[in-house]
A and B are shown apart, each in its own frame.
Chain A
Amino acid sequence: MSTKGLLITTRYTVAILITLLMFFPMYWLLITSLKSPDELKAAIPTFWPERLAWENYRDAFRAAPFGRYALNTLIQTVGIVFLQLNISLLAAYAFAKGNFWGRDKWFFFVIAALIVPDQVTFVPVYVMMAKLGWLNTFLALIIPNGVSAYSIFLLRQTFKSLNNDVLEAARVDGSNRLHIIYRILVPMAMPTVVTVIILKFIGSWNSYFWPLIMTNTNDMRVLTVGIAMLKNSVGGSEMLNWHLLMAGSVIVIAPIVILFVFAQKYIVSAMSHSTFK
């Protein structure tokens, strides 16, 4: 009995130590954002600020237009989520419940796109956007990301698992397809729909490569690109602006951390979906 108790205690202790170690970078990010510039240079790093320097956040907004970056990020993210969700819902219905020529071949055409990374398509898409005059506009940030093969796949899986009887009944009643998708299927498939929205929201909020290429003016930058530029402009190790960079970083990740805390149920369920990809 006592050896078992010892084992449990050891397990808890090791687990807590590892969790502290793994969580340390997040803690350090937050704590650095609240330290005064002088304290950053302390010979022995402090693990709790002597004084909470909230003014770092005000100064960060002065160092770079984080408000504008945040607005751009939000517009980009909401635009992508909205467009992708609707396009995916329609396509998922067509591939799960529809009936047309070569349906499964067309579905393969969708799935095969999963192995083509952004890094393969960005030069021609950049040229296309330049020709359309879309560079430095939200159109270039949103439209090329308007479709996600993965979302279509997930929603199609869920739609397929839903019973056809309800659909037949709705068809007999003369409901059109949009009504069936939005009023009947979406409520039935709500957990998957929410999962798709959350994962896409996080992915778009964090995206870097695409906005880096498609925008080059300061007022069109998104948070990730803006803060990376700020880091490069204030220099690396010598200039000590880390309190500002970390305050900016907290602004970038705060919405995601909040979303994670409230939506972890959906996120973890999405993980179990992803194993069957």
Chain B
Amino acid sequence: MSGQLTPKKRLLSFSTLEKWKDFSLALPALLLLAIFTYFPLISSFYISLTNWDLIKPIKKFVGLLNYERLLKDDQFYRVLKITFTYTVLDVALSLLIGLGLALLFNHRSKAFGAMRLLIFMPYYISMVIASMVFVWILNPEYGVLNKALEVFGIDKVFWLNDTSTALWSVVSVSVWKGVGFVMIIFIAGLRSIPTEYYEASSIDGASKWRQLIHITIPLLSPTTLFLIITSFISSMQVFQSVSVMTGGGPLGSTKVMVMWIYEMAFVQFKAGKASALVIIFFFIIIFFTFVQFSLSKRKVHYEG
């Protein structure tokens, strides 16, 4: 660009040198990405075609055997189902509750600002700690939740040891921790909606509820799509909370994809099979990224 603006081109060798200097500034970043992101990606694919055990230097090329075995394994479909259930619950609850909070807390006053910060703060604390606090709150014997339920005559619930409640418990930590972020983003979206729309519709006698359905929610759709895309992808990679709260149990009912990959690689030392799972997982993530991006493009076009 700037080359076109200079009236007369400099000496070729000089300008080539300048280009090399500019390029050299980008080089550290490019090299690190090549070494620690792109090479490992290719390497994962290569390892997935072997029966490597992560320790011995021996690798036997087995072709697509690891993939074949995974796709025939019932466990694979179970883990996939658990991961999706977790993701859908997490994203849906976070967005619904986050929107509710945004509508309630979108009020310009000092008190509401302070309350928003208190709700938003957990977003930045460690997931390990958040999970641990929940394990304590959900403790069957001494946990404050069961004590509170006792008041209403509800029997002791073994939240993390029961296959019907364990996944919900893991979801609850993520929702609690993430919902403040969703609220803040939705409030930014709410504040970008021109107030004239509401003024005009209240002159027409529209109720608050109708305004929400016909003005607020449609006009928030770019924000909603942004949140769905980002939280869906990060939610599928859930690991820390599962690792701290249940370790994948009880009876594998919270064994999500990354947990399974971790176990396969570092507990069972099946590097080949784990890498095959990694590659499949990666393609699932890419698939959803593209589906959601193309949806959001269509949406923007639709509104424009």
- Interface residues, chain A, with chain B CB atoms under 8 Å away: 11-12, 14-16, 18-19, 22-23, 25-26, 28-29, 32, 40-41, 44-45, 87-88, 90-91, 93-95, 98-101, 103, 106, 109-110, 113, 115-117, 119-125, 127-128, 143-144, 146-147, 149, 152, 164, 177, 181, 202, 205-206, 208-209, 212-213, 223-224, 227-228, 231, 236-237, 240, 242, 245-246, 249, 252-253, 256-257, 260, 264, 267-268, 271-272, 274-275, 277
Contacts and interface: CB of A to CB of B under 8 A. Distances in A.
Given A25-B133, A123-B274, A208-B128, A237 B139 contact: yes
Given A19-B119, A237-B139, A271 B188 contact: yes
A124 B30 contact: no
B76 interface: no
A18 B282 CA distance: 38
Contact of B126 (A115, A143, A144, A224): A224
Interface centre among B37, B38, B118, B132 (most CB of A within 10 A): B37
Given A127-B54, A253-B129, A23 B29 contact: no
A237 B37 CA distance: 40
Given A257-B121, A271-B184, A29 B36 contact: no
B248 to A, nearest CB: 13
Interface stretch (B16-24, B63-71, B85-93, B199-207): B16-24
Given A19-B118, A98-B23, A209-B240, A87 B29 contact: yes
B37 A121 contact: yes
A103 B107 CA distance: 45
A14 B104 contact: yes
A268 B244 CA distance: 29
B121 A124 contact: no
Given A101-B23, A125-B36, A249-B132, A25 B176 contact: yes
B216 interface: no
Shortest 10 CB-CB contacts between residues of A and residues of B: A98-B22, A121-B40, A91-B29, A94-B26, A124-B40, A124-B43, A147-B32, A94-B25, A206-B126, A100-B23
Interface string B127-138: 111101111110
Contacts of A271: 181, 184-185, 188
Contacts of A100: 19-20, 22-23, 26
A99 B104 contact: no
A145 to B, nearest CB: 8
B115 A16 contact: yes
Interface of A is mostly: helix
Nearest to A216: B266
7 contacts: A22-B179, A23-B119, A26-B125, A44-B147, A122-B40, A206-B124, A249-B129
A270 to B, nearest CB: 10
Interface in B19-54: 19-23, 25-26, 28-30, 32-33, 35-41, 43-44, 47, 54
A256 B141 contact: no
A146 B139 contact: no
Contact of B239 (A119, A147, A227, A264): A119
A25 B37 contact: no
A124 B282 contact: no
B197 interface: no
Contacts of B147: 44-45
B29 A88 contact: yes
Given A120-B282, A246-B136, A90 B26 contact: yes
Contact of B30 (A101, A109, A236): A109
Nearest to B111: A12
Contacts of B166: none
A245 to B, nearest CB: 6
B62 interface: no
B300 interface: no
A177 B132 contact: no
Contacts of B141: 237
B3 A123 contact: no
Interface in B98-131: 101, 104-105, 107, 111-112, 115, 117-119, 121-122, 124-130
Contacts of B107: 11, 15
Nearest to B100: A18
Interface in B275-299: 275, 278-279, 281-282, 285-286, 289
Given A22-B119, A119-B237, A209-B258, 17 more contacts: A15-B115, A19-B118, A28-B136, A94-B25, A98-B26, A106-B26, A115-B289, A121-B41, A123-B40, A124-B47, A143-B32, A177-B21, A206-B125, A237-B141, A267-B124, A275-B185, A277-B230
B144 A205 contact: no
B195 interface: no
B142 interface: yes
